[in-house]
Amino acid sequence: MEPDDWVAAPLELSSRHATTITSRTTANTSSRRTQYTRGGNGPEGRIRLLTSPTVTATHSDLWHHRCDMPHGPAYRPLVAWYDAAARDLPWRRPGTGGWEVLVSEVMLQQTPVARVLPVYAAWLDRWPTPAALARDSVGDAVRMWGRLGYPRRAARLWQAARVIDSDFHGEVPADLQDLRSLPGVGEYTAAAVAAFAYRRRTVVLDTNVRRVLARLVLGEQFPPRSLTSQEREVAERLVPDDGAQAASWNIAVMELGALVCTARAPRCERCPVRELCVWRAEGYPAYPGPPRAGQTYAGTDRQCRGRILATMRSCDGPVDRHTLSLSWEDAVQRERAISSLLDDGLVVQLGDCALALP
């Protein structure tokens, strides 16, 4: 399939009452106002525009009336693009269960796919089920986590495995409320597991999805820093009612954000729904909010904690504080990091001078 075969056609309007659609950038120059009603004329989801002196049309308005998925304008080209261009990732393959998806989603939080892949494979080789992980210690989980960062995720995953084993007969639940009851599982992770493992209709809103929908539907370069009710409403309108189709839509939008509609260098010429994109139609307006500063790592307590844990993982048993002092020069910051690791339960104190993984 050639890339142009994926591209959605520009929005079509019922010719009987069609009128010119003005963008936000030119709305002030037009006195025409319009009112929208569903056309009800076939699977393409066309709309009628009835002339009225009171309602101004914008590109974004069109999306709010063409969301009868999967018959809306974006579903087919986007899912077709995904089928042809998506990465072959182990947690997306047929037959992948709830445990595999849960492990992948926890590992992928703020961590690149390339770093996750080897740890994911090793983790599931050792712990193919929640029960297998529950039988080992949290220290084993932290050690296996390696250098993925944010090691509390390993402890939370271990805690979740114990709850799954004891309360859900060893099977990752499919119900959203049950998923949210697991340690470390929030709104996004629960929705992702329900969608991708069990083909349930959920609204999956990660960073990539939020950015795609902000540009495609709302005409904004970036979404707000915190998830808003408007974002939820837009996403809810776009997700198909059928569970399998909803899962296909969610993963396709997510992949588009990861590969094409990226934060720093969007590749609009490769986008299968570029003809529908409000941000593109309005001339790529810049993000109006404050500068989006990147996260720093060098010299932070996070880096110090990582060095200490790396030293402890490299040793078979307890590690004395003198050995740990070799991993970080600043004694005050080192002690602060050790105290936070103790508070998080990622290390334990043995006597006055030694620490160990739990």
pLDDT in tens, 40-65: 322 233 222 222 222 233 455 545 54
Q: Could you give the CA distance from residue 142 to residue 158 in angstroms, rounded to a whole number? A: 9
Mean residue pLDDT of the chain comes to: 82
Q: Quick check: is 236 catalytic?
A: no
What percentage of the chain has pLDDT greater than the value 90?
Answer: 58
For residue range 310-334, list pLDDT tens digits in order.
Answer: 898 888 889 988 898 888 888 899 9
pLDDT 10s digits, 219-236: 999 999 999 999 999 999
Residue in 105, 220, 231, 255 annotated catalytic: 105
How much is the pLDDT for 1?
41
Least confident of 11-15, 99-103, 176-180: 11-15
pLDDT band at 206 (very low <50, low <70, confident <90, very high): very high
Per-domain residue ranges for the chain?
3-68, 301-356
